[in-house]
């Protein structure tokens, strides 16, 4: 992947296409549910010309993103995936966000329904970009918790594996497919993101990855606010503070004003956590030509995390 696309949206789109899956297999499911690394490489190769064109003129992508409800990071991820499928040589996008209702109640939703032109099969694709922190250095899914601790990997995967990917097998799901003129759907997961490990484990490379995880998944680190002196262990004096909507692709900037030193970062964190309780994502960066590019990323979380309740 070209990490130096100048435009943030284009970098994010390239990341959605080419970054590794969080999982390489899943319990009690067909391996085909997880899209392969070869699949992502081929899609990126076919779309590379478009990405380069968009980097020179991102207006088609900007218009697409602005036309959707992208206030939330998850919806932004889905919108980028939709743009990918609309421009893929392999797929026809049949429909998206197809709700399944029973007696007026929404029981589920097909994120994407695609036709694979290679084998003329229809695909029900569930798409998500997720960020989970390892709270106990365990392989157990329940110990991987979101920056918002109301979200955790076990609950997400239970819903995906026991409800969402079987939606086409329900009576209501089958009826919806009949409306669309589709006999059968193959389920698949587009699950990408980061797992973050406590900085002590991250630096010693002795962290436990989640059960069934892809060993090549994107990795980061985390510490509590009371441990911020540990930032010196990363031997970096150049940092970027992420805006929340920029969490997806690697941090990259030419702008010196985006980069701060460690002392400035510590002052900012003291001020931030005096009034805020939501984890903040930062990146250590290094100079590469005219760019500053991410070396590693990590969350700073409140001292009481994950024993906090968030309503947003």
pLDDT tens profile 50-75: 999 999 999 999 999 998 777 789 99
In this structure, are residues 10 and 61 in contact, taking their beta carbons and an 8 Å threshold? yes
Residue 219 CB-density burial (10 A; 0-12 exposed, 13-18 middle, 19+ buried): middle
Distance CA 18, CA 38 (A): 10
Give residue 32's pLDDT: 59
Q: What is the dihedral of CA 224, 278, 255, 69, to 10 degrees?
A: 150
Q: What percent of the chain has pLDDT over 70?
A: 95
DSSP per-residue codes, 205-238? T-PPPPTTB-TTSEEEEEEEGGGGGGGGGG----
For residue 312, pLDDT over 50 is answered with no
Give residue 30's pLDDT: 59
Give residue 169's pLDDT: 86
């Amino acid at each position: 992947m070209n990490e130096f696309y100048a435009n943030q949206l284009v970098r994010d789109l390239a990341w959605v296409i080419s970054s590794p899956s969080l999982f390489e297999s899943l319990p009690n499911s067909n391996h085909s549910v997880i899209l392969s690394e070869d699949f992502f490489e081929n899609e990126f190769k076919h779309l590379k010309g478009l990405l380069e064109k968009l980097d020179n003129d991102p207006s088609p992508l900007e218009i697409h993103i602005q036309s959707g409800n992208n206030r939330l990071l998850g919806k932004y991820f889905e919108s980028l995936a939709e743009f990918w499928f609309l421009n893929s040589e392999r797929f026809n996008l049949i429909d998206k966000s197809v709700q399944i209702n029973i007696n007026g109640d929404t029981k589920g939703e097909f994120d994407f329904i695609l036709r694979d032109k290679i084998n003329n099969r229809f695909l029900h694709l569930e798409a998500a970009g997720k960020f989970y922190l390892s709270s106990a250095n365990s392989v157990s899914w329940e110990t991987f918790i979101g920056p918002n601790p109301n979200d955790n990997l076990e609950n997400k995967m239970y819903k995906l594996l026991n409800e969402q990917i079987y939606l086409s097998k329900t009576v209501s799901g089958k009826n919806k497919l009949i409306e669309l003129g589709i006999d059968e759907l193959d389920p698949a997961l587009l699950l990408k993101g980061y797992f973050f490990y406590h900085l002590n484990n991250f630096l010693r490379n002795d962290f436990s990855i989640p059960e069934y995880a892809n060993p090549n998944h994107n990795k980061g680190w985390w510490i509590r606010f009371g441990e911020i002196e540990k930032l010196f262990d990363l031997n970096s004096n150049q940092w970027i503070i992420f805006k929340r909507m920029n969490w997806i692709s690697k941090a990259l900037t030419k702008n010196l004003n985006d980069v701060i030193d460690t002392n400035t970062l510590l002052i900012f964190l003291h001020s931030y956590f005096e009034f805020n309780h939501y984890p903040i994502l930062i990146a250590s960066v290094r100079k590469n030509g005219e760019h500053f590019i991410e070396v590693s990323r990590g969350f700073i979380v409140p001292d009481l995390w994950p024993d906090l309740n968030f309503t947003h």
